[in-house]
């Protein structure tokens, strides 16, 4: 059951697809107060209450015990104290033996989630502007609640199948030659690869929708060549459009009046990578159409995937704020006396990026009327995603195009995926990535993953290996790193063969993982879940923070610590462990319920599978296009007939019907003849 409560004058955020009449009764369960113009909802938490949700945010799967703020931020340093990341996903589930309740705030402005921070026994959720729709969801299980939320907000985005291949990326690939070298190094070593991302270096002066004529002389031909090698190019597009006379996107945007304005009606400008930029007013439909059509030359050049970036939007500085900082410094120069002034001086410049005064000076005109940006800030990235996805659909309604974005808001999950932003090459960030995954799924973002190896800082060989072992299971499996950090393509390392073998497991599992993903998307369920969703009555499972359920019957438990020779895994029921070393080299170990020490050398990683759930492995290959998805080895621990529905399609169909695409497989109970009840069966489907 879903109930809707309206406060103030909410705008249409495009987050919800189900039209519900607002309730006339007051909001139950929560105590409502109105601080200033805001709305504050409080709820007493029982000691055993667990909170899931808030999508992309730091800390654990269980969000209890910290204060988060929904305010999409370009934030480079993700620590335990980081209250805001790039996205605002305002959905939270309260779960205890006596309560199961979903709370969704459809609010485009800032929202604070004090979840047992000020008082450990109370959740206090504050909408700062108070114009919002609140939805209460009540179902009889966590899984049903997740499904009901997805029905409210719409079906998750379906990427093309090739987007489940391994993707290599790095900020700094400056020419076609360099990209070709990266591809060659992979292909020569038989490291599977499906795509290479082009970061801002492919553009002329970092200007969107341009490519450097000297370094990328013939992008269509380059893209064609790559496709012959079963690879695709995935260029980046940033939110800002450089304000340069004669630059076509700027000229057409200005002529159409499609940019965000200042209060005086002039275009708002701020610096990002290309220098001074104007910012498309994505809240306007005509601006979205204009922007979505700008992708056309790239689509015509054969590009089938994009990543949208800097769309919080990130603002490095505005001229006004730089001038203000200089004025401050000049004023202080003569009277400079002590360390307090020193801090003040430092702040004058360090507070210039992503400055609140700048955000307050931006205006949108969704319906002709000006709306101040800070009231709707969290929609910006989502509406850029919408502009892009609509543009792709106009270009070719019959083909799925890859799109993942840095900034997002619930609703954007229908149009694209997200990557988890600028993480570091830290072990703690490996764990953070794992913990973020189920909450992103709960909020609808199924196509997601982190920068494998870490974006900032220098990766170590073992850390990259362990990141890849998590990446084998994440829908987006992309190795990405920042300029000036240690190069982290697999082939740079002495243990590249081990890493190649890890990626080969992804390819052996790809048809199966794709099937699990598509079934999750098409049935409005979750690809990754906290263990609580499958074992709500098992208090150990409910509190497990470093393992995830995957698809219908699997569980992952990656090694998250340096120099570990294994880890403890909690098995909530009897399972089969597949301990992988490569696509062809793995152990099948039946394990009974309980805590188990699993030894895992650096080249080993496990997948756990519930009984009577077959896992299908194909022979693998070097590109998703080269996989034989008819011949499989099914492995299964079983004590009765075991059935599986394998989802297959052409990888591009944008409107697939689940039932039409399922091939049903049954392993009869007597397939497993050995003592452990483990079957290995060759299938031709
Ligand atoms: C941002 C993105 C990162 C990208 C860089 C340069 O930091 O998050 O992925 O590499 O910009 O475009």
For 123-165, how does the pLDDT look when each residue is reduced to its tens digit (9 = 90+)?
999 999 999 999 999 999 999 999 999 999 999 999 999 999 9
For 36-72, write each residue's pLDDT tens digit.
Answer: 999 999 999 999 999 999 999 999 999 999 999 999 9
CA-CA distance, 357 to 368, in Å (whole number)? Answer: 23
Measured in whole angstroms, how far is the alpha carbon of residue 658 from the centre of its chain? 24
Interatomic CA distance for residues 22 and 166, integer angstroms: 45
> Kindly report the CA angle at 289 between 447 and 654, in degrees rounded to 5?
40
Provide the pLDDT confidence category of residue 674 given band limits of 50, 70 and 90.
Answer: confident
What pLDDT does residue 331 have? 85
Find out whether 150 and 444 touch, Cβ atoms under 8 Å: yes
Mean pLDDT of 364-388: 97
Which helix (H) or strand (E) is 519 found in, with range?
A: helix 496-522
In angstroms and rounded to an integer, the radius of gyration of the C-alpha atoms of the chain is: 25
Cα–Cα distance between 683 and 685 in angstroms, integer? 6
Q: Would you place residue 118 in the very low, low, confident or very high pLDDT band (cuts 50, 70, 90)?
A: very high
Residue 418 β-bridge partners: 405, 448
Q: How remote is the CA of residue 579 from the centroid of ligand 1, in Å?
A: 35
pLDDT at 102 over 80: yes
Q: Residue with the nearest Cα to atom 4 of ligand 1?
A: 171
Is the predicted pLDDT of residue 338 greater than 90, yes or no?
no
Q: What is the pLDDT of residue 215?
A: 98
Q: Identify the residue whose tokens are 């292909």.
A: 187
Name which of 235, 239, 241 is nearest 173 in CA terms: 235
Do the Cβ atoms of 519 and 645 come closer than 8 Å?
Answer: yes
Q: Which of 85, 234, 310, 488 to probe ligand 1 with, by most ligand atoms within 8 A of CB? A: 310
DSSP string, 337-378: -SHHHHHHHHHHHHT-TT-HHHHHT-EE-TTSS-EEHHHHGG
Pocket test for ligand 1, best of 271, 309, 404 (most atoms within 8 A of CB): 309
In 3D space, the residue among 155, 154, 230, 162 whose CA is nearest the CA of residue 652 turns out to be 162
Distance 445 CA to ligand 1 centre (A): 20
Q: What is the pLDDT of residue 340?
A: 81
CA angle, residues 213, 215, 219, in degrees to nearest 5: 65
Helix (H) or strand (E) holding 598, with range, is strand 594-599
Residue 392 has pLDDT above 80, yes or no: yes
Beta bridge partners of 408: 87
Could you give the CA distance from residue 48 to residue 266 in angstroms, rounded to a whole number?
54
Nearest to 544 by CA among 570, 518, 519, 516: 570
For residue 313, whether the previous peptide bond is cis, meaning omega lies within 30 degrees of 0, is yes
Quick one: pLDDT at residue 262? 98
Ligand 1 centroid to residue 357 C-alpha, Å: 24
Compute, in angstroms, the gap from residue 661 CA to the centroid of ligand 1: 37
> How far is residue 463 CA from its own chain's centroid?
21
How remote is the CA of residue 461 from the centroid of ligand 1, in Å?
Answer: 22
pLDDT at position 333, please? 80
Q: Which of 77, 167, 169, 199 to mutate to test the pocket of ligand 1 (most atoms within 8 A of CB)?
A: 199
pLDDT at site 376: 98
Q: Which residues pair with 578 in a beta bridge?
A: 588, 607
Mean pLDDT along residues 406-427: 98
Ligand 1 atom closest to residue 310's alpha carbon, by position in its atom list: 1
Q: What is the mean pLDDT of residues 303-320?
A: 98
- pLDDT value at 337 more than 80: no
Q: Which residue puts its alpha carbon closest to atom 7 of ligand 1?
A: 422
pLDDT at 489: 98
Residue 115 CB contacts under 8 Å (≥ 6 apart), including other chains? 51, 63, 64, 65, 66, 67, 68, 92, 123
Residue 344: what pLDDT?
A: 82
Atom number, ligand 1, closest to the C-alpha of residue 200: 12
- CA distance between the termini of the chain: 40
Tokens of 27: 């909001």
Distances, alpha carbon 621 to alpha carbons 233, 423, 510, in Å: 19, 30, 10
Number of CB atoms found within 10 A of residue 46's CB: 12
Mean pLDDT of 675-682: 90
Tokens representing residue 649 in the block = 């399609």
What distance in angstroms lies between residue 422's CA and the mean position of ligand 1's atoms?
A: 7
Q: Which atom of ligand 1 is nearest to the CA of 406?
A: 8
What dihedral angle (degrees, nearest 10) is formed by the CA atoms of 229, 231, 232, 236?
-120
pLDDT surpasses 80 at 311: yes
Tokens of 600: 């895992």
Give the count of alpha carbons within 13 A of 150, CB side only.
25
User: Which region holds residue 255: left if phi is over 0, alpha if psi is between -120 and 50, else beta?
Assistant: alpha
Q: Is 37 exposed, middle or buried (0-12, 13-18, 19+ CB in 10 A)?
A: exposed
Helix 285-294 × helix 248-256 angle, to 10°:
160
Token duo for residue 112: 């604070």
- Which ligand 1 atom sits nearest the alpha carbon of residue 171? 10
Cβ(632)–Cβ(621) under 8 Å? Answer: no
Give Cβ neighbours of residue 374 (< 8 Å, ≥ 6 apart): 109, 110, 356, 359, 360
Q: Render pLDDT for 231-254 as a digit per residue (tens, 0 to 9).
A: 999 999 999 999 999 999 999 999
Locate the ligand 1 atom nearest the alpha carbon of residue 483 and give its number. 10
Tokens 């390392």 label which residue? 493
Q: What is the pLDDT of residue 502?
A: 98
Q: Which atom of ligand 1 is nearest to the CA of 451?
A: 9
Whether residue 157 contacts residue 446, with contact meaning beta carbons closer than 8 Å, is answered with: yes
CA of 642 to the centre of ligand 1 (A): 45
* Residue 217 near residue 176 (C-beta atoms within 8 A): yes
What spacing in Å lies between the alpha carbon of 170 and ligand 1's midpoint?
9
Structure tokens at 585: 């080299």
Give residue 513's pLDDT: 98
- Distance from C-alpha of 268 to C-alpha of 440, rounded to nearest angstrom: 32
Going by alpha carbons, the residue nearest to atom 10 of ligand 1 is: 171
Q: Select from 237, 423, 482 the residue to mutate for testing ligand 1; criterion: most ligand atoms less than 8 Å from CB.
A: 482
Say which residue the tokens 């002590």 belong to. Answer: 338
**Which residue matches tokens 């000229």?**
251
Q: How many CA atoms lie within 13 A of 633 on its CB side?
A: 16
For residue range 418-462, list pLDDT tens digits in order: 999 999 999 999 999 999 999 999 999 999 999 999 999 999 999
Closest residue to atom 5 of ligand 1, CA basis: 171
Contact assessment for residue 480 and residue 307, using Cβ atoms and an 8 Å cutoff: no
Tell me the three state secondary structure of residue 113.
strand
Residues 89 and 102: beta-carbon distance below 8 Å:
no
Q: Quick check: 231 and 237 in contact, CB under 8 A?
A: no
Cβ–Cβ under 8 Å, residues 209 and 519: no
C-beta neighbour count of 340 within 10 angstroms: 8
Q: Cα(419)–Cα(576) distance, rounded to whole angstroms?
A: 31
> What does the alpha-carbon distance between residue 578 and residue 297 come to, in Å, rounded to a whole number?
46
pLDDT tier at 328, thresholds 50, 70, 90: confident
Q: Say if residue 329's pLDDT is above 90.
A: no
Inter-residue contact 594 to 571 (CB < 8 Å): yes
- Cα 200 to ligand 1 centre (Å): 8
* Centroid of ligand 1 to alpha carbon of 171 (angstroms): 7
Residue 347, pLDDT score: 85
Pocket residues: Cβ below 6 A from ligand 1: 171, 199-200, 236, 309, 406, 421-422, 455
Whether 171 and 483 have beta carbons less than 8 Å apart is answered as yes
Whole-model pTM? 0.98
Q: In the 3-class helix/strand/coil scheme, how is 120-154 assigned residue by residue?
A: CCEEEEEECCCCEEEEEECCCCHHHHHHHHHHHHC
């Amino acid at each position: 059951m879903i109930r809707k409560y309206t406060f103030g004058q909410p705008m249409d955020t495009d987050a919800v697809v189900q039209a519900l009449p607002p309730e006339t009764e007051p909001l139950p369960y929560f105590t409502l107060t109105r601080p200033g113009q805001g709305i504050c909802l409080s709820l007493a938490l029982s000691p055993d209450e667990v909170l899931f949700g808030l999508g992309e945010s730091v800390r654990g799967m269980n969000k209890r015990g910290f204060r988060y703020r929904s305010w999409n931020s370009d934030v480079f340093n993700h620590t335990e104290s980081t209250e805001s990341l790039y996205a605002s996903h305002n959905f939270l589930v309260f779960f205890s033996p006596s309560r199961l309740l979903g709370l969704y705030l459809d609010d485009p402005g800032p929202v604070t989630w004090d979840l047992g921070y000020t008082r450990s026994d109370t959740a206090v959720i504050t909408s700062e502007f108070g114009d919002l729709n609140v939805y209460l969801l009540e179902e009889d299980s966590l899984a049903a609640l997740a499904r009901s939320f997805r029905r409210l907000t719409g079906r998750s985005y379906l990427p093309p199948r090739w987007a489940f291949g391994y993707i290599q990326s790095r900020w700094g690939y400056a020419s076609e030659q360099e990209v070709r070298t990266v591809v060659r190094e992979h292909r020569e070593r038989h490291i599977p690869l499906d795509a290479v991302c082009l970061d801002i270096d492919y553009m002329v002066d970092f200007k969107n929708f341009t490519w450097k004529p000297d370094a990328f002389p013939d992008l269509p031909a380059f893209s064609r060549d790559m496709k012959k090698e079963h690879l695709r190019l995935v260029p980046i597009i940033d939110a800002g459009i450089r304000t340069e006379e004669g630059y076509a996107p700027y000229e057409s945007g200005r002529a159409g009046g499609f940019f965000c304005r200042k209060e005086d009606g002039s275009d708002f400008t701020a610096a990002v990578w290309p220098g001074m930029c104007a910012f498309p007013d994505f809240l306007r439909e005509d601006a979205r159409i204009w922007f979505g059509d700008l992708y056309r030359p790239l689509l015509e050049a054969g590009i089938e995937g994009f990543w949208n970036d800097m769309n919080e939007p990130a603002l490095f500085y505005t001229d006004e704020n730089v001038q203000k900082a200089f004025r401050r410094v000049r004023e202080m120069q003569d009277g400079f006396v002590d360390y307090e002034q020193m801090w003040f001086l430092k702040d004058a410049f360090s507070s210039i990026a992503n400055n609140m005064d700048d955000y307050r000076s931006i205006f949108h005109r969704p319906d002709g009327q000006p709306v101040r940006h800070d009231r709707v800030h969290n929609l910006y990235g989502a509406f850029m995603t919408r502009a892009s996805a609509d543009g792709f659909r106009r270009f070719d309604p019959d083909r799925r195009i890859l799109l993942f974005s840095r900034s997002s808001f619930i609703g954007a999950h229908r149009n694209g995926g997200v990557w988890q932003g600028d993480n570091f090459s830290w072990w703690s960030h490996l764990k953070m990535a794992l913990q973020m995954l189920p909450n992103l799924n709960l909020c609808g973002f199924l196509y997601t993953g982190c920068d494998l190896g870490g974006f900032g800082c220098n990766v170590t060989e073992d850390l990259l290996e362990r990141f890849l072992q998590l990446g084998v299971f994440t829908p987006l499996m992309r190795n990405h790193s920042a300029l000036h950090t240690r190069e982290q393509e697999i082939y740079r390392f002495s243990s590249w063969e081990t890493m190649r073998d890890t990626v080969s497991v992804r390819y052996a599992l790809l048809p199966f993982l794709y099937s699990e993903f598509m079934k999750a998307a098409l049935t409005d369920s979750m690809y990754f879940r906290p263990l609580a969703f499958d074992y709500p009555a098992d208090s150990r499972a409910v509190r497990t923070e470093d393992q995830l359920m995957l698809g219908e019957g699997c569980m992952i438990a990656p090694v998250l610590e340096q120099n570990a020779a294994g880890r403890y895994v909690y098995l909530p029921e009897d399972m089969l462990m597949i301990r992988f070393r490569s696509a062809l080299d793995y152990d099948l170990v039946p394990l009974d319920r309980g805590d188990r020490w699993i030894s895992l050398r650096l080249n080993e990683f496990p997948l756990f599978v519930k009984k009577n759930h077959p896992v299908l492995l194909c022979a693998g290959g070097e590109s998703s296009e080269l996989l034989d998805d008819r011949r499989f080895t099914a492995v299964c621990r079983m004590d009765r007939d075991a059935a599986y529905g394998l989802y297959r399609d052409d990888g591009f169909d944008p409107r697939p019907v689940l039932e039409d695409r399922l091939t049903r497989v049954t392993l009869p109970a007597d397939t497993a003849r050995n003592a452990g009840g483990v079957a290995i069966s060759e299938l031709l489907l």
